[in-house]
Homo-oligomer: A and B are copies of this chain.
Amino acid sequence: VVRYPPLLTLLTDFGLSTYPGQMKGIIHTILPGAQVVDLTHHVPFADVGCAAHALLCAFGDFPSGTVHVAVVDPGVGSGREVLLLHLAGHTFVAPDNGLLWPLWEMHRVEARAFHLRELQGFCLPPSSTFHGRDIFAPVGAWIARSVPLITLGEPIERPRVALESPKPLVGRSHVEGEVILVDPFGNLVTNIVPRLLPGDISEVSVGEVTIEGIARSYSHWGEGPGVIVNSCGHLEVFLFMGSAAEALGVGVGERVLVRLK
């Protein structure tokens, strides 16, 4: 049997600091030879919803068996629990602050959830400010080293903290959703997933504009704002070679109205 090096991902709001590197140092200390991939460290500061969406869209691109460590944790050092989640062959470690809620919600039939119990022997004596290094990275490394979740945590029915995320209102002829994310290119990502709708999309209204039809690609669309199904399966409003957010003057929370055929 060939054993491949265990794979972990990191998702944080630590930006360009040394913190992501320090987390990797701890992981390599506990698990020499581990492979660690940065999913991103540029989630807007303390934006748990954005982190949750990014993880939901990205984890499926990694092989089964990957351990995902996500730290967007404004409550560091407070009483919030450490959540361990196993679903779809992947394991997740994050604060129980809503970050893993959408994952749990979508996979609740098969998901197993735990609250971290044992720090001793697994974590560093925690500092007041950097549990990414002291708790989340080491726990992720021990999981990747095959310590069973039941050894580390207490089984729970469900995560303690739910994430209130806006669900689209789906009618027979209309869907009302909203912009949930402006990506780094100025694309407006909505909470509407076309493959879950009861019909094909006829037109989309956002801000002052109404757009007819769905683009096959950015470059096919030509001038003016267009609508496309993005790589995560969500409806997205774009401007080819420009920023839709700027051109339309809208941002997160903006109402998006879809008319179905």
| A residues lining the B interface (CB < 8 Å) | 4-5, 7, 9, 11, 14-18, 20-26, 28-29, 32-33, 35-42, 45-46, 54, 57-58, 61-63, 66, 74-78, 127-130, 133-134, 183-185, 215-220, 228-231, 236, 240-241
Contact = CB atoms under 8 A, between A and B. Distances in A.
Given A5-B32, A18-B54, A46-B241, 12 more contacts: A4-B32, A4-B33, A18-B39, A18-B57, A28-B37, A28-B63, A76-B217, A76-B218, A77-B220, A128-B231, A130-B231, A134-B231
A219 B75 CA distance: 5
B183 A58 contact: no
Ranked nearest first, the 8 interchain pairs of A and B with the lowest CB-CB distance are: A77-B217, A130-B231, A25-B61, A4-B32, A25-B62, A16-B42, A21-B39, A127-B231
Report the copy number of this chain in the oligomer: 3
Contacts of A38: 20-21
Nearest to A60: B25
25 contacts: A4-B32, A4-B33, A5-B33, A7-B32, A9-B25, A11-B18, A16-B40, A16-B184, A17-B42, A18-B40, A18-B57, A21-B37, A21-B38, A21-B40, A45-B185, A74-B240, A75-B217, A77-B218, A78-B220, A128-B216, A128-B217, A128-B228, A128-B229, A128-B231, A133-B231
